[in-house]
């Protein structure tokens, strides 16, 4: 039964953590405000809607989520999905775009909350770590290339990663050198301080530099773009004025938004949980995501999700718990009331530099190299291309994000993980021999020619559970071994068979009967109780193989003649 503790990241809070949380909150606030304005524009609504979304989302995720470091707020990928989904429904309806954007946030939140309560967080288990790694690298690269035009003062192109990169390269002759100077200095400040003075809030220093440079040198009059005017005041609270049918129309797109938000947020949350030694609950992550979107929608905001870039800023600035997120929420409310003018002089180049600096460390090419090197020639001989299934899945997710965008990239990576199912469907069936000088130990004869085999008796070991997808492969391997070795008996060592389904059990029983008709005995050694139970319950249970407690006992029995095997206790 799911418990309902709230603010779990604050458990065991230590006073010594407060300084780091407050500095991180201040840093994230300086980063979140201009970023929220930009992402609201991507979603096709007024920039201030991004600020409306933040406070409630931050508070409710801190209350119900499971990550100590994750920062929720408007994000580029979900903002773009929001614009597309709302645009399809709002076509021809004047003045409803903003209301439908709020409706999408509420619908996404309700679906995520329902999924979390239904304990559907297990779907995260179907997104493997290599897929998530490739997804994060691809997403980070996509966000970085989207910031390059800001850094150089040129117009941003559209399309996938490669189109945006090519568009940027073709506009190099249009670079605003003053903008580039501001951006590069901001980037240098952020990177150098993080490396050589990690206790200093580098992004905040970079923001202060950018605003001060504009104030002192009036850079906005020399081609340097700034954030510009921001409306002040709190949002209106309540449900949007839209027909109830619009919630249903947005349900389909909301599922996609939820999956992207869940995947990105889970990836960021897991990354920083692993670095700081705690666990993430996917179900609470879904509940937290749902609560955050409902809170955002009720305060006239837009879709929010766990932010890869803001979480990177939060972690690098020294956050220990969600106190940093709560502090960001307070600061954002104060910003809406009193400080909107503070950020109007922030150069967009500085904003882009902070995003790039925060995401550079998440472009983890070294981990992809490790995945590629996790390979042996023996695995290659057994599984072929599928021996590098983890690397291929990570690469597929990475390229999928770069070429086809966020949601398709994630699905491509997950689909490519099916290579692992191919490996399971064709498990290695080893021929065993007795190890010389050992006390009855049997091992794979591949590469160990000194291991003794028994003439007329072939000992096999299936290195996998038996189920419908590999039943035919294993049947063929057993028959091939019997024919190739001219065996009069096959001993199947079941120590490495943890489970068996009905299809595989029927296959073994039928195979036992078929081989018996050819004068070949098929017996089982060292079986696990559930395997024997399934063989006894399956069709043709009367033809189930004989059972022996050890390989040696089975070999001696089949060499001595047709006596029946003895069942051994579990």
The per-residue pLDDT for range 201-217, each reduced to its tens digit, is 677 788 889 999 999 99
> Helix 129-152 and helix 389-404: axis angle, to 10°?
30
Give the CA distances from residue 429 to residues 382, 459, 460, 476, 489, in Å, rounded to whole numbers and listed in that order. Answer: 10, 10, 6, 10, 16
Question: How far is 433 from 431, CA to CA, in rounded Å?
Answer: 7
For the stretch 246-287, pLDDT in tens is 999 999 889 888 888 887 788 788 888 888 888 888 888 899
**What count of Cα atoms within 13 Å lies in the side-chain half-sphere of residue 60?**
25
The closest alpha carbon to 54, from 77, 81, 72, belongs to: 72
311 Cβ neighbours under 8 A, 6+ residues apart: 69, 70, 71, 268, 269, 271, 272
Give the CA distances from residue 545 to residues 41, 367, 492, 518, 540, in Å, rounded to whole numbers and listed in that order. Answer: 69, 46, 9, 15, 11
Checking if the pLDDT of 567 tops 50, the result is: no
Output the pLDDT for position 128.
Answer: 73
Q: What residues does each domain of the chain span?
A: 14-91+177-360, 365-423, 427-560
Checking if the pLDDT of 131 tops 60, the result is: yes
Output the pLDDT for position 151.
Answer: 92
How would you list the strands of the sheet with 442-444, edge to edge? 442-444, 429-434, 457-462, 489-493, 521-525, 546-548
Provide the whole-model pTM.
0.69
| Residue 179: how many other CB atoms lie within 10 Å | 25
For the stretch 470-504, pLDDT in tens is 889 899 999 998 888 788 999 999 888 888 888 88
For the stretch 405-460, pLDDT in tens is 776 777 787 777 666 666 677 888 888 888 887 777 888 887 677 777 888 899 99
For the stretch 55-111, pLDDT in tens is 999 999 999 988 999 999 998 778 878 887 888 888 756 578 999 999 999 999 999
Local structure of 261: helix, strand or coil:
helix
Output the pLDDT for position 59.
Answer: 96
Chain position carrying tokens 């201040």 = 26
Structure tokens at 477: 């391997």
The closest alpha carbon to 9, from 340, 321, 421, belongs to: 321
pLDDT average, residue stretch 230-255: 90
Give the CA distances from residue 558 to residues 211, 271, 519, 523, 563, in Å, rounded to whole numbers and listed in that order. Answer: 86, 54, 12, 8, 8
Query: Yes or no: is domain 427-560 CATH 3.30.750.24?
Result: yes
Indicate the average pLDDT of the chain: 84
The closest alpha carbon to 116, from 296, 304, 289, 307, belongs to: 289
The closest alpha carbon to 481, from 515, 504, 506, belongs to: 515
For the stretch 168-185, pLDDT in tens is 999 999 999 999 999 999
Question: How far is 413 from 416, CA to CA, in rounded Å?
Answer: 5
Q: Contacts from 211-215 at CB under 8 Å and sequence distance 24+?
A: 211/342, 211/343, 211/345, 211/346, 211/347, 211/350, 213/182, 213/347, 214/345, 214/346, 214/347, 215/345
Q: What are phi and psi of 465, to 5 degrees?
A: -70, 160
Question: How far is 332 from 326, CA to CA, in rounded Å?
Answer: 10
pLDDT grade for 125, boundaries at 50, 70 and 90: low
Torsion angle defined by CA atoms of residues 419, 267, 351 and 210, in that order, rounded to the nearest 10 degrees? -130
For the stretch 24-68, pLDDT in tens is 899 888 878 888 887 887 788 888 899 999 999 999 999 998 899
Question: How far is 241 from 206, CA to CA, in rounded Å?
Answer: 41
Checking if the pLDDT of 3 tops 60, the result is: no
Checking if the pLDDT of 119 tops 70, the result is: yes
DSSP state at residue 550:
S
């Amino acid at each position: 039964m799911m418990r309902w503790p709230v603010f779990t990241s604050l458990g065991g809070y230590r006073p010594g953590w407060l300084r780091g949380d407050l500095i991180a909150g201040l840093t994230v606030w300086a980063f979140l405000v201009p970023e929220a304005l930009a992402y609201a524009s991507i979603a096709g609504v007024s920039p201030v809607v991004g600020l409306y979304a933040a406070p409630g989302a931050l508070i409710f995720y801190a209350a119900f989520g499971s990550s100590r470091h994750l920062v929720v707020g408007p994000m580029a990928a979900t903002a773009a999905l929001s614009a597309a989904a709302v645009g399809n429904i709002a076509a021809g309806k004047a003045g409803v775009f903003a209301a439908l954007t709020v409706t999408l946030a509420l619908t996404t939140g309700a679906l995520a909350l329902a999924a979390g309560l239904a304990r559907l967080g297990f779907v995260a288990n179907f997104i493997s770590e290599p897929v998530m790694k490739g997804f994060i690298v691809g997403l980070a690269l996509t966000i970085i290339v989207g910031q390059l035009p800001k850094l150089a003062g040129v117009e941003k192109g559209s399309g996938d990663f490669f189109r945006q990169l090519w568009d940027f390269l073709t506009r190099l002759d249009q670079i605003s050198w003053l903008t580039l100077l501001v951006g590069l200095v901001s980037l240098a400040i952020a990177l150098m301080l993080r490396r050589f003075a990690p206790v200093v809030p580098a992004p905040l220093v970079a923001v202060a530099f950018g605003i001060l440079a504009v104030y002192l040198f009036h850079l906005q009059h020399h081609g340097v773009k700034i954030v510009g005017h921001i409306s002040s005041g709190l949002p209106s609270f309540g449900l949007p004025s839209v027909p109830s049918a619009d919630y249903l129309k947005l349900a389909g797109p909301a599922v996609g938004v939820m999956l992207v938000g869940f995947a990105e947020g889970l990836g960021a949350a897991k990354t920083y949980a692993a670095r700081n030694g705690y666990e993430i609950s996917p179900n609470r992550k879904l509940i937290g995501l749902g609560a955050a979107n409902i809170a955002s929608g009720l305060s006239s905001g837009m879709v929010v999700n766990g932010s890869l870039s803001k979480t990177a800023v939060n972690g690098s600035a020294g956050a220990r718990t969600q106190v940093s997120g709560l502090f960001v929420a307070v600061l954002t409310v104060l910003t809406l009331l009193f400080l909107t003018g503070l950020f109007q002089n922030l150069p967009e180049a500085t904003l882009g530099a902070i995003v790039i600096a925060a995401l550079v460390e998440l472009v983890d090419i070294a981990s992809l190299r490790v995945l590629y090197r996790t390979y042996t020639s023996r695995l290659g001989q057994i599984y072929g291309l599928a021996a590098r299934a983890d690397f291929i899945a990570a690469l597929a997710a990475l390229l999928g994000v770069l070429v086809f965008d966020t949601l398709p990239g994630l699905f491509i990576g997950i689909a490519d993980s099916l290579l692992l199912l191919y490996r399971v469907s064709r498990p290695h069936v080893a021929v065993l021999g007795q190890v010389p000088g050992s006390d009855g130990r049997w091992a794979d004869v591949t590469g160990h020619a000194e291991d003794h085999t028994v003439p007329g008796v072939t000992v096999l070991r299936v290195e996998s559970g038996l189920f419908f997808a590999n039943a035919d492969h294993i049947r063929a391997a057993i028959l091939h071994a019997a024919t190739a070795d001219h065996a009069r008996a096959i001993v199947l060592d079941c120590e490495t068979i943890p489970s068996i389904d009905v299809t595989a059990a029927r296959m073994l029983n039928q195979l036992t009967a078929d081989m018996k008709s050819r004068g070949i005995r098929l017996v089982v050694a060292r079986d696990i109780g559930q395997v024997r139970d399934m063989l006894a319950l399956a069709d043709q249970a009367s033809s189930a193989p004989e059972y022996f407690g050890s390989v040696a006992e089975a070999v001696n029995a089949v060499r001595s003649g047709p006596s029946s095997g003895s069942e051994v206790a579990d």
